[in-house]
Structure 1
Amino acid sequence: MVEPVRLVLSGFGAVGRAFVDAFLEQGPLLQLAAIRGHGTEAFLAPGSAVPARSSWDQTGPIEETLSRTAATVLVQALPSSPEAHARALEEAVAALRSGVDVVTATKSHILSHWRDLERAASEGGSRIRISGATGAALPTADMARVALRGMGCNVFRACPNGTSTFILDELAGGAGLESAVREAQRRGIAEADPSADLSGKDAATKVRLIAGLLWNWDVSTIAVEAEPIDSSTAARALEASGQGLRLRAVASASLERPMMVTVRLEAVAPGDPLFAIAGPEKAMVFRCPDAGDITVQGGRSSPKGAALAMLKDVLNLSGSNTSGFR
């Protein structure tokens, strides 16, 4: 009988709870051994439900949690905030050094300590997977890390931020910026603070991570040039629409400009894969001179989408020693 893969989940907000829901559908293949929340943690017996938060104990060192549970995977669903940064980094480094694989949707520590995490994984003989941090359910990380090997990709362009695409389409339809943002928030597409979407920061972050996977760039030192969506953008969106084009916030990286990511507002034409998406869809186009352009498109931006991306990473890690086609 195959032993279940034992997991520790760190972070029990919207993404963490969605991960537990998705995880429960996998049956006996996986076992959630512990959950670490904000200051408290719970240990779960095989097959048991998550206990009420009032019964959780004070959080101990991550090393103790991993040792007590004999976990082989740490799943991180912590917010990518300054407050959670130190914890995310400490837990990931400790897990990797001890031989525990890490699956994370948290961006902050992988942006700031890319090489440190890589060294920790090398020391422990462990692995780190970041699908949930690079576009939720859109499998761009898998493309960059595995599917494009040997393809000679030298450029990629992306609209990895569904909120900005939605807002630009609203502007093209005649809405003002404030109205477009409110509509995105009303539909649950935009966060309460959309500044990272409008500034291009979120798009640049995702492209930095993909460039790190694709070309082994040090994500922590990649420079960014970003053009924001602001009060002057509505006129450009309307002008593009009048010409049969669509304004898109296009994030890109190229081997011709090493260690640089740009985010530009571009009027794209029909036939361009970035024209076809409708907010909040996302898309990424990898240019491979001999293999041709390879596009990945779609993927839900939501806590469930990020949770499913993490679950996919966990399943791929746990199934890496299987035989045959799978």
Structure 2
Amino acid sequence: MRAPYRIGLLGLGHVGGALARRLIEDGERVASAAGRPIILDAIAVARPQGRTAPASLVPADALLKRPHLDAIVELIGGIDPALTYICSALQSGLEVITANKQLIAARGPALAQLGPLRFEASVASAIPIVETLAETLAADRINSLMGILNGTTNSILDAMAAGADYADALADAQRCGLAEADPSADVDAHDPAAKLAILGMLGFRRRIEPSQIERVGIRGLDQRQLVAARERGFVVKLIAAASMTGPGIEADVRPRLIPDDAPLARVAGAMNAISVDAAYAGTLVLQGPGAGPDAAASAVLADLIRAARGTPASAGALLASLADQPVATITPLGLQTPFPAVP
């Protein structure tokens, strides 16, 4: 077996903890899949005092300078200081694996020019949509993408359709850990817009600025709208959708009416689903857990195994190829979309 693949971990929250457990408890299985052991060498956390950890706790700056590392796994989220750490790691010759959708959507092409960047966990957690677009469908032509990319709002909408009002459904989601204390990233559709930008760049091979994607969240929905939709044979889902329209791209995120016999209508709770319409492969629908520490850690580990095997970071290379492109013109979806917006 080859020499161990050594990693440094930035962040030991829920996802980082789940990843560390997998590396320790399933070490033999991971080594067999990767062709070499994957060793968690050190961890950087914001407040190390009193923390117990499965590897040495060091400051982030020290982690990035640690000898013999092969890769950095960034799981702290947000733009700063994650951007600084990732730039430093890539410029030092390390691979980077991240789940940071906000950073990949905003800076992915520029970062990927610096070195091997992997980000399967940035969209839809355990669903391998990044690999599917970058590898499986690399020679195909993607016509459109549509899906449910936020489990928090999907759970809230399910509760509202069952009779809860928005405030109660949100409070329940917060109590069970699905929604943050500040839920704006989810309920105002920033989160699915960032994910849609990443998928659009991979699928359409065009540089997309997430702020150009029109967003309509779920704050303004009334529970009575969802009940009325159900009585008419529809369910309301927060749909992220994009399609190629010649030189431009149509894309938006908004609540839409889905016929109750459509596949997306049956996506419940925190599940995610993505429908990809490809010129040659046809319509593919990928569905699975879109949230949760174990699901996200599974996607991070898949990237780690590919890195340890020496598999090229194809999704990162694709983003890097877009860095010098002008930003694509984005307009909201036209009338041809199969699912109307909620009136």
Q: TM-score range by the shorter chain?
A: 0.7 to 0.9
Structure 1 vs Structure 2 CA RMSD:
2.3
Query: Is the Cα contact below 8 Å between 1:9 and 1:76 reproduced in 2?
Result: yes
Q: Which residue of the other structure, out of 107, 113, 122, is the alignment partner of 1:133?
A: 122
Q: 1:300 to 1:228 in 2, by over 3 A?
A: closer
Structure 1 length-normalised TM = 0.84
AA in 2 matched with 1:310: V
Q: Among all aligned residue pairs of Structure 1 and Structure 2, give the percentage whose two residues are the same amino acid.
A: 27
Query: Is the Cα contact below 8 Å between 1:281 and 1:297 reproduced in 2?
Result: yes
Query: Helix, strand or coil for the counterpart of 2:110?
Result: helix
Query: Is the Cα contact below 8 Å between 2:161 and 2:223 reproduced in 1?
Result: yes
Are 2:169 and 1:180 equivalent residues in the alignment? yes
Aligned-partner Cα distance in 2 for 1:188–1:321 = 35
Q: Which residue of the other structure, out of 172, 181, 187, is the alignment partner of 1:198?
A: 187
Q: 1:306 to 1:169 in 2, by over 3 A?
A: same
Q: 1:252 to 1:274 in 2, by over 3 A?
A: same
Residue 230 of structure 1 and its aligned partner are, at CA, apart by 2.1
- Decide which moves more: 185-194 or 7-16: 185-194
C-alpha deviations, 1:46-84, integer Å up to 9, x for none? xx9435xxxx4544355422xx2x11111111132xxxx
Are 2:58 and 1:50 equivalent residues in the alignment? no
What corresponds to 2:317 in structure 1? none
- Decide which moves more: 252-261 or 292-301: 252-261
Are 2:301 and 1:301 equivalent residues in the alignment? no
Query: Is the Cα contact below 8 Å between 2:159 and 2:169 reproduced in 1?
Result: yes
Aligned-partner Cα distance in 2 for 1:57–1:203 = 33
- Which of 1 and 2 has higher RCO (CA within 8 Å, sep 6+)? 2
What corresponds to 1:146 in structure 2? 135
Q: Mapping of 1:1-326 within 5 angstroms?
A: 1-24=1-24, 25-27=26-28, 29-38=37-46, 49-50=54-55, 56-61=57-62, 63-65=64-66, 68=67, 70-80=68-78, 85-121=79-115, 127-220=116-209, 223-256=212-245, 258=248, 261-320=251-310
AA in 1 matched with 2:266: A
Query: Is the Cα contact below 8 Å between 1:114 and 1:220 reproduced in 2?
Result: no
Aligned-partner Cα distance in 2 for 1:119–1:178 = 44
Q: 1:49 to 1:265 in 2, by over 3 A?
A: closer
Query: Helix, strand or coil for the counterpart of 1:120?
Result: coil
Aligned-partner Cα distance in 1 for 2:64–2:73 = 14
How many aligned residue pairs are there? 300
Aligned-partner Cα distance in 2 for 1:58–1:230 = 40
Aligned-partner Cα distance in 1 for 2:311–2:102 = 31
AA in 1 matched with 2:178: I
Aligned-partner Cα distance in 1 for 2:279–2:60 = 51
Query: Is the Cα contact below 8 Å between 2:133 and 2:202 reproduced in 1?
Result: yes
C-alpha deviations, 1:133-180, integer Å up to 9, x for none? 111112221122112222321100010101111111111112100111
Q: 1:187 to 1:63 in 2, by over 3 A?
A: closer
Query: Helix, strand or coil for the counterpart of 1:246?
Result: strand
What corresponds to 1:124 in structure 2? none
- Unpaired runs of 5+ in structure 1? 42-47, 122-126
C-alpha deviations, 1:265-324, integer Å up to 9, x for none? 1111144221111111110000123322100001251122211110111012222469xx
- Unpaired runs of 5+ in structure 2? 32-36, 313-343
Aligned-partner Cα distance in 2 for 1:224–1:232 = 20
Query: Helix, strand or coil for the counterpart of 2:302?
Result: helix
What corresponds to 1:44 in structure 2? none
- Decide which moves more: 32-41 or 222-231: 32-41
Structure 2 length-normalised TM = 0.80
Q: 1:233 to 1:292 in 2, by over 3 A?
A: farther
Aligned-partner Cα distance in 1 for 2:223–2:273 = 22
